[in-house]
Structure 1
Amino acid sequence: MDNEQPHQELVKCVVVGDTAVGKTRLICARACNKHVSLSQLMTTHVPTVWAIDQYRIYKDVLERSWEVVDGVNVSLRLWDTFGDHEKDRRFAYGRSDVVLLCFSITNPISLRNCGAMWYPEIRRFCPNTPILLVGCKNDLRYMYRDETYLNFCKDRSPFIRAPRKSDLVMPDQGRALAHEFGIYYYETSVFTYYGVNEVFENAIRAALIARRQQRFWMTNLKRVQRPLLQAPFRPPRPMEPEVAVVNSVYLENMTTLLRQQYFSDMVIICGPKGFPVHRFMMAAACEAFHRLLTTDCVSLSAELARSSSESSMVSSMGEATTGDFDEDTEYLIRQDQAKQMRVWDQIKRRSSCQILPLSDSCKKPPDLYREVNHPAIVSIRVVKCEKIQHATSQTQTIVTMSKLISQAVMQEIINFVYTGQLDSAAFKQQEIRQAAELLGFHELTKLNQFILDQHLLFDKGFMLQFHTPLPQRLRDMYVERNLFADVTFDLDDGIHLAHRAILMARCDPMKAMFQGHFRESNSRVISFPGVKMYAFHILLCYIYSDKIPKVEPARCLELLELANRLCMNRLVNLVEARVIDQLQHQDRVCGEDDQVVEIALSLLEPVKLHNAHNLAEWCTWRLCGAYDRVCRAKHLSQASREYLADNRWPPVWYVKEYDYYQKCVNEQTKEQKELRPTTSVQAAQQTGCLCFTSKVRRSSETGPDASTALCRTEDVPHPAPMAPL
């Protein structure tokens, strides 16, 4: 049959080894081209044998068995066997061309059984058959610490036990056993599909070389090479840790600010009801309030704050309306001109406001009340209160709205300013759009117009898109320009102004300080030792806008310390994300820059003290990839040294295997140069006739190479195959 079909060879490959080492998975991966997932690999092991009848029953399996190796058409027939030691396998060994002796990378006992039980059995039934030692489950050498894999093991416990580091078989151990028996050594993984095709191709080469010695007249086997080297497998680098940022509670804090009315310094009067609000919020949202509060009102408020016995009034401009506290609602309401004197007597009695006595020639309080020439705003009044409730501003600005803005519409506008939401039940589209246009509230105008044009339903996420510019405007107006500030912080290198109300709403320690009976609750200047302007400025940016600017990695520690000091976990996460982004960008631009390694090395220990766990984890990941540059760092703790040494990438076993692989490749290249003929005459003399090939030469062709027991990596170039002798 061989003479009739000289270019077609049938190779019988027998796969043996202990139970559950991965024999059947390896055969299915090659014969059926079957890729398996991690969940499939983690199913409970059921001893099975891949039937040889598959080649007769399934046509696609038979077609995949054909392969061309070194110019020879080969049909590879795989024979699976039981892993039980007491089974009789002599029927499988009969007429075998090559034997794969398998063991598990995570089971050292299976490797010992290869030498104690399996190799003697193979040699008893197949004394001259070539053998390849194959290490299966190569992926578990680096996946034994993978969280996904460990979760699978935990879910399937006690049927599956997660391997430990002490259970792993290193490549040099398998290579040592292969060298002892004079056989080839390879490693495979059906999960990553590493080495699956390579091990069977080299098994075919070993079988064809053995067949060539017996059938030296077959010219189609002349170009078959010895089994090739297998380059070491470099495990993939661990995934870069992601920064887990705490969910934002900015809108919830602003809603609390509206409901609790911390240090509210403004009352908006609409009809019979007044709405306590904050000047800095309304000025940032509406242009009309911004112009009104930043012109005469600012100077008037400052003058009232300096005066303890009397209040300076802004001279009135034209006819004015007055207000009163209703007996039932306790809110300031509009009254007729005839009731004006009684109104101001009630205000003086109930709020203890210092008001100048009225002159006989004037029927309204001079220098306290002012009319406004605006269609939506009628008047503004600024009063100073002495006997006030705790955590309430002493200076109150009272703004009376015209009849063009109703009470319900004003309530919706204030809710949108603080919370970014509109009540769909009470939503009056035309009235709110008119009020927003009059007050210069552009975001609300756009939202209302978009809803009217598109006939959209009320979606919270959609409405928040129009509320997004407001926090940024708060930062620009009050962090950078310090408008309407009512508290000053004395820092180590300067002073910074802020607003008590938003500090209380956004920071719990600040709330306890201002609301409790502490000295700082009534102080205008608060000393804040140990804090610098750089860190405090970024803190205020976060408090006002829920975002932070660019953070310098070299100065992030003082900001992390301040955020941890104030129990602001989200700020810690945002700083971590900013610093990691900066270091990643520097890595991309400079390419594995040593400066990034130095920064990560300097941050590793301090950030752990400030609960910056995400940044500490990223620094550890970065240093594990540059272990050679940081292994001699003196300021690292012993625990950090041990962790870096244990989790370094690439691991130690890969570095050793790669060095050994390069050594073998160099020796093989040198050997090829020595054996390669320099002229055609020398080539003819060295080639000779196959019929008279010496026994020494044939043994040199088939002898195992000591440099074949290796693993492979994807990024290492495959060496050129050796030329036939």
Structure 2
Amino acid sequence: MDADMDYERPNVETIKCVVVGDNAVGKTRLICARACNATLTQYQLLATHVPTVWAIDQYRVCQEVLERSRDVVDEVSISLRLWDTFGDHHKDRRFAYGRSDVVVLCFSIANPNSLNHVKTMWYQEIKHFCPRTPVILVGCQLDLRYADLEAVNRARRPLARPIKRGDILPPERGREVAKELGIPYYETSVFDQFGIKDVFDNAIRAALISRRHLQFWKSHLKKVQKPLLQAPFLPPKAPPPVIKIPENPVTNMNESGYLLDNPLCADVMFVLQDQNHIFAHKIYLATSSSKFYDLFLLECEESPDFSETQCSTDKTSRDFLSSTSHLETVDDIDDAILATLKTSNDKLSTPESDGTSKMLELETEEGSSARRALSSLGKGFVSMHKEIQINPVSNRTCPVTVVKMDSSVQPGPFKTVLQFLYAGQLDENEKDLTRLAQIAEILEVFDLRMMVENIMNKEAFMNQEITKAFHVRKANRIKECLCKGTFSDVTFKLDDGSINAHKPLLICSCEWMSAMFGGSFVESSNSEVVLPNINKTSMQAILDYLYTKQLSSSQELDMLELIALANRFCLPHLVALAEQHAVQELTKASGNGIGVDGEVLSYLEWAQFHNANQLAAWCLHYICTNYNSVCSKFRKEIKAKSPDNQEYFERHRWPPVWYLKEEDHYQRVKKEREKEDIALNKHHSKRKWCFWNSSPLVA
């Protein structure tokens, strides 16, 4: 009933607008955007096309649609009735064309064929059925001009024809066809809600002007303007890429418990009852247990013979290595070293040397200071000395600290204690909890003792907090050992200094280090490793990360050098952290008004060369979104970039080239129209002056 009343209202102009065009060019979605204010996501808009036709009955059954059909254009009240049509060329649309006031002819800017059909099929059909009806040409799906076409094609149905970059039509193509046909041209994007009002308001104007010529007595139509120009659409800036931090990959080599079963670079051997041997690593035990920390620290502080003999052993090894350079295999060298070291130890232990035995036994003389210090640690330890042993994994000879345990320490529970000290976890299904608690009590591993009690009391859920506190303390002790070089077993020789480190921690944290120290390389048995072209600050940051999994906050650290070094050591997680930090610093500086254009240009190809792909993508985005300012200052640097980068700049620069051309055309045509309007107003003013100043006699 309300729909019929619009036809009867005085001074309310009812406009019938017919929308035609090929299938899947966006006709129905354009109509729904105007009639229903429908807003959809981009991927809903670009999903599989379902042939639909907007039903004219919606004006009768939907009050909201009826209300939105009413509008005021140039002080004229109108009621807009939209008619959708099939896009199939063979369908009969003569009923839709009947008594139409304006026709909106649509094509898709991503489908050149749809624009070709405008001239060859649609415009001829329109002029056949309604020759005097004004026509508006509309390019739909404008957002595809700057969209990510790969994402768009993924959202479409599998058998759909993919949209190619070459299919996207520039604005001048549509404008040329419109000029050839003598009709106005507009562009729309339902996704960006751009151009919808422009299209239908100017379609209404075209219809009202045509009606004014036929119904000249309607004075309220005198103020209707001819279809206005459409300002070009400036696409939004693409959002900057988000730096994603990947999960740190965890493999068997990354788990510290792996080293207990496969004791690469082991420097401790525990001797238990029945001559059972268990190899371990000082750095893991000392950072997990205060008692082991004191034990191994005692070796360094109260036993100067240890360090002196170790130094002489290392010197003998190095001298012998130089004298056996003719040997062909590493195993031959190891055998030779072992024979020489045994000979030197025999000489040291003979009474003829200096009357004092220098075998590395802490229990050589009863009541000695070293033995008293060892006994002060309490139960569990019997003796400790240095020996040359063959590593069971690498089959290399190396000095180890041999610790003989008390008979009360049994192999099974003791191995479980060591597993806890390495990994910080306890299996709830452990069978011999009583003996495990006893060993933990003897070795003063109180965290483990409490966890065993919780399991026995059915309160295992409380162990999570104990495990958390254990890892925090262990991390702090590892940091301390890194800073002081305590218990270190390798020294990195760098361009500007040296840094002490710990092979077991490096093996568990980095596959590159694991291959170097755990494989058949010479570095696996050396206490010094030369790393050329690396400075101390960058290497310290690498070690900080490998030990703590955190990025160093040193102000002297150069992020580009760190990225290059992290890529060299195959640490993608650290590369991502460095990329994130670099982007944050650049963004902060740019936000404070500090120019970073030149810095970003220098970052770009460095990041690409060292596989910092996220930082490179951010630099590309920054240069493209600030292309005019960057190019004005650094034109030579831009031209010096690789062809691939320059091609990327041209394709993704903002504002895009097509927009700049459209803006120039819009401003030029706008000035021409203003001149025409001024000239027309002068002409009308002159006619009025002549009319009022003319006299019958003169006439």
TM-score, length basis structure 2: 0.76
Would you say 1:584 and 2:572 are equivalent positions?
A: no
Name whichever of 230-239 and 405-414 sits farther off: 405-414
In 2, Cα distance between equivalents of 1:626 and 1:669? 33
Instruction: Report percent identity of matched pairs.
Output: 39
Would you say 1:98 and 2:109 are equivalent positions?
A: no
Q: 1:625 to 1:122 in 2, by over 3 A?
A: same
User: Aligned to 1:385, what secondary structure does the other structure show?
Assistant: strand
Given that 2:240 and 2:621 are in contact with CA atoms closer than 8 Å, whether structure 1 keeps it comes out as yes
Residue-by-residue CA offset, 1:531-575 (whole Å, 9 max, x unaligned): 211221111112212222147799334333333333333333333
Alignment correspondent of 1:16: 20
Given that 2:149 and 2:164 are in contact with CA atoms closer than 8 Å, whether structure 1 keeps it comes out as no
Matched AA of 1:254 = S
Shift of 1:199: 1.8
From 480, 499, 506, the counterpart of 2:502:
499
Given that 2:492 and 2:530 are in contact with CA atoms closer than 8 Å, whether structure 1 keeps it comes out as yes
In 2, Cα distance between equivalents of 1:458 and 1:644? 57
Given that 1:369 and 1:379 are in contact with CA atoms closer than 8 Å, whether structure 2 keeps it comes out as no
Alignment correspondent of 1:560: 563
In 2, Cα distance between equivalents of 1:585 and 1:433? 57
User: Aligned to 2:136, what secondary structure does the other structure show?
Assistant: strand
In 2, Cα distance between equivalents of 1:514 and 1:465? 30
Would you say 1:651 and 2:656 are equivalent positions?
A: yes
Given that 1:433 and 1:448 are in contact with CA atoms closer than 8 Å, whether structure 2 keeps it comes out as no
User: Aligned to 1:480, what secondary structure does the other structure show?
Assistant: helix
Would you say 1:421 and 2:422 are equivalent positions?
A: no
In 2, Cα distance between equivalents of 1:164 and 1:12? 36
Matched AA of 2:193 = Y
Gaps of 5+ in 2: 314-348, 350-356, 693-699
User: Aligned to 2:427, what secondary structure does the other structure show?
Assistant: coil
From 248, 256, 262, the counterpart of 1:260:
262
Alignment correspondent of 2:339: none
Shift of 1:102: 0.9
Residue-by-residue CA offset, 1:327-379 (whole Å, 9 max, x unaligned): xxxxxxxxxxxxxxxxxxxxx9xxx99246988xx5577745634546x6555
Given that 1:284 and 1:477 are in contact with CA atoms closer than 8 Å, whether structure 2 keeps it comes out as no
Residue-by-residue CA offset, 1:149-197 (whole Å, 9 max, x unaligned): 12124xx233x11122221111122123223333222112233333234
Alignment correspondent of 2:548: 545
Given that 1:6 and 1:220 are in contact with CA atoms closer than 8 Å, whether structure 2 keeps it comes out as no
Alignment correspondent of 2:126: 122
User: Aligned to 1:505, what secondary structure does the other structure show?
Assistant: helix
Given that 2:361 and 2:386 are in contact with CA atoms closer than 8 Å, whether structure 1 keeps it comes out as no
Shift of 1:307: 1.5
Alignment correspondent of 2:188: 188
In 2, Cα distance between equivalents of 1:230 and 1:463? 69
Q: What pairs with 1:590-629 in structure 2 (closer than 5 Å)? A: 590=593, 594-595=595-596, 597-628=597-628, 629=630
Given that 1:24 and 1:50 are in contact with CA atoms closer than 8 Å, whether structure 2 keeps it comes out as yes
Matched AA of 1:398 = V
User: Aligned to 2:484, what secondary structure does the other structure show?
Assistant: coil
Name whichever of 246-255 and 520-529 sits farther off: 246-255
Name whichever of 39-48 and 526-535 sits farther off: 39-48
Given that 1:301 and 1:382 are in contact with CA atoms closer than 8 Å, whether structure 2 keeps it comes out as no
Q: 1:263 to 1:256 in 2, by over 3 A?
A: same
In 2, Cα distance between equivalents of 1:23 and 1:436? 80
TM-score, length basis structure 1: 0.74
Name the structure, 1 or 2, with higher relative contact order (CA <8 Å, separation 6+). Answer: 1
Given that 1:420 and 1:464 are in contact with CA atoms closer than 8 Å, whether structure 2 keeps it comes out as yes
Gaps of 5+ in 1: 312-347, 690-725
In 1, Cα distance between equivalents of 2:218 and 2:117? 38
In 1, Cα distance between equivalents of 2:26 and 2:434? 69
Alignment correspondent of 1:698: none
Matched AA of 1:647 = H
From 75, 78, 83, the counterpart of 1:79:
83
User: Aligned to 1:166, what secondary structure does the other structure show?
Assistant: helix
Shift of 1:609: 2.9
Would you say 1:204 and 2:204 are equivalent positions?
A: yes
The total of aligned residue pairs comes to 631
Given that 2:299 and 2:306 are in contact with CA atoms closer than 8 Å, whether structure 1 keeps it comes out as no
Given that 1:106 and 1:168 are in contact with CA atoms closer than 8 Å, whether structure 2 keeps it comes out as yes
Shift of 1:381: 4.2
Shift of 1:527: 1.9
Q: 1:208 to 1:466 in 2, by over 3 A?
A: farther
Shift of 1:49: 3.1
Given that 2:18 and 2:97 are in contact with CA atoms closer than 8 Å, whether structure 1 keeps it comes out as yes
Shift of 1:107: 1.8
In 1, Cα distance between equivalents of 2:437 and 2:557? 49
Q: 1:310 to 1:157 in 2, by over 3 A?
A: closer
From 139, 142, 153, the counterpart of 1:138:
142
Shift of 1:497: 0.8
Shift of 1:654: 1.7
Alignment correspondent of 1:707: none
Name whichever of 117-126 and 76-85 sits farther off: 117-126
In 1, Cα distance between equivalents of 2:110 and 2:608? 35
Q: 1:131 to 1:449 in 2, by over 3 A?
A: farther
Q: 1:69 to 1:292 in 2, by over 3 A?
A: farther
Alignment correspondent of 1:642: 647
In 2, Cα distance between equivalents of 1:263 and 1:196? 72
RMSD: 4.5
